[in-house]
Amino acid sequence: MVSYLLRRLPQAALTMLVMSVVVFVGVFAIGNPVDILISPQATATERDNAIRALGLDLPIWQQYWSFLVNLFQGDVGRSFVFNVSALHLIMERLPATLELALASTLLGLVIGMPFGLYAGLAPNSRVSTSIMAGSILGFSLPSFWVGIVMIMLFSVHLGWLPSGGRGDTVYWLGARWSFLTTDGLAHMAMPVLNLALFQISMVIRLTRAGVREVILSDYVKFARAKGLTETRIILVHVLKNILIPVITVVGLNLGTVIAFAVVTETIFSWPGMGKLIIDSINVLDRPVIVAYLMLMVLMFVVINLLVDLAYMVLDPRVRLESR
């Protein structure tokens, strides 16, 4: 296990390094930072001084080196717009995004599992066919359009739910949360459902596939032969066995949900880091863009490492291969 981890860690570090080159080249080499950082009214001398102060006169590899060193120290520069540390700015918005992502994952499980269970137990019924057709729609509909239709229906037409923002928040565990107030919950309802659509569809498919596999197994047949009630068979023998893979996949999908929150946050003006990055891209606030991209890459590298480790623990074949 340790040797496997030791071999995977350099790979993860290499991925991070490659991505840092991509981001550096993209942000600092393609666009000219001088045009953005220095006022166009500046005189030639002022410009030269500023270029020297920013280190932009150095050869590109030296610039990259100082970028890398700063990156390791968690310093990606100050936001041009807010004039605070870019990383700090993102961390400040992180709770809002996490709240949205976790709530929608939970909703995905709560709604998806019963539907998937039903579709797996009665695969040929008309209801199951509609459930599966619905899950295909959940996969293929662009979620931003569904969000717009939701706002149109529930905010504009019916006036039941607010169309954007976080509502009242409560300070708890060092951050502000919406889910602790009724107003906050009302503001959360639509974004969470919107973000959860994909996960509901995914959980339905996973659960259905799992149920159909487990239902044919010997231990379920044996439980039936013993004369156990169908409820007990479903709850104990079937559900318990499909729970682990479903929750694993859903948990590992959390990163994708956080990345996809960009869309949901933009529609519902949810002040999370997804909305921050889109706003930053629109005003070319480069330090924030860099901080966000590097943070997301780091998150996915860590998630992938966890996935590999999980497979190694769960699947002996991977362990043997890595010897």
Partner 1 sequence: MATSVHSPKPEIRKRGEQTPFRRFVSDFIVSRLAVLGLFVLGLVVLIAIFAPLLAPQNPYDLAQLDILDGMLQPGTVGGGGYPYWLGTDEQGRDMLSAIFFGLRISLFVGLGSAILAFVIGATLGLTAAYFGGKVDAAIMRWVDLQLSFPAILVALLILSLLGRGVLNVMLALVIVEWAYYARTARAAALVERGREYIEAAQCLALPTSRIVYRHLLPNCLPPLIVIGTMQVASAIALEATLSFLGLGVPVTEPSLGLLISNGYQFMLSGNYWVSFYPGVALLVTIVAINLVGDQLRDVLNPRLKT
Give 165: exposed, middle or buried? Use CB within 10 Å, 0-12, 13-18, 19+: middle
Mark 85-114 with x for binding to partner 1 (rule: CB under 8 A) and - for no binding. ------------------------------
Residue (181 or 256) nearer to partner 1, CB: 256
Q: To which H or E segment does residue 170 belong?
A: strand 170-172
Q: Which of residues 194-223 bind partner 1 (CB under 8 A)?
A: none
Q: Which of residues 158-197 bind partner 1 (CB under 8 A)?
A: 163
Query: Is the separation of the CB atoms in 120 and 212 below 8 Å?
Result: yes
DSSP codes joined into one string, 80-147: TTT-SBHHHHHHHHHHHHHHHHHHHHHHHHHHHHHHHHHHHHSTTSHHHHHHHHHHHHHHHS-HHHHH
What is the nearest approach in angstroms of partner 1 to the Cβ of residue 250? 15
CA distance 204 to 194: 16
Examine residue 296 and tell whether it contacts partner 1 (CB under 8 A): yes
Residue (22 or 236) nearer to partner 1, CB: 22
Mark 20-49 with x for binding to partner 1 (rule: CB under 8 A) and - for no binding. --xx--xx--x-------------------
Residue (23 or 96) nearer to partner 1, CB: 23
Mark 1-20 with x for binding to partner 1 (rule: CB under 8 A) and - for no binding. --------------x-----
Stretch that binds partner 1, among 72-80, 87-95, 216-224, 274-282 (CB under 8 A): 274-282
What is the nearest approach in angstroms of partner 1 to the Cβ of residue 19? 8
From 244, 1, 258, select the one nearest 105 (Cα to Cα).
258
Kindly state the tokens that stand for 146.
Answer: 């569904």
Determine the residue type at 33.
Answer: P
Can you say whether residue 142 is alpha, beta or left, with left for phi > 0 and alpha for psi between -120 and 50 degrees?
A: beta
Stretch that binds partner 1, among 95-103, 152-160, 171-179, 227-235 (CB under 8 A): 152-160
Examine residue 304 and tell whether it contacts partner 1 (CB under 8 A): yes
Torsion on CA atoms 70, 72, 74, 75, rounded to nearest 10: 0
Q: How many residues bind partner 1 (CB under 8 A)?
A: 42
Residue (155 or 248) nearer to partner 1, CB: 155
Q: Which residue has the tokens 């969470």?
A: 192
Beta bridge partners of 285: none
- Residues in the site for partner 1, rule: CB under 8 A? 15, 22-23, 26-27, 30, 129, 136-137, 140-145, 148-149, 151-152, 155-156, 163, 255-256, 259-260, 262-263, 266-267, 277-278, 281-282, 289, 293, 296-297, 300, 303-304, 307
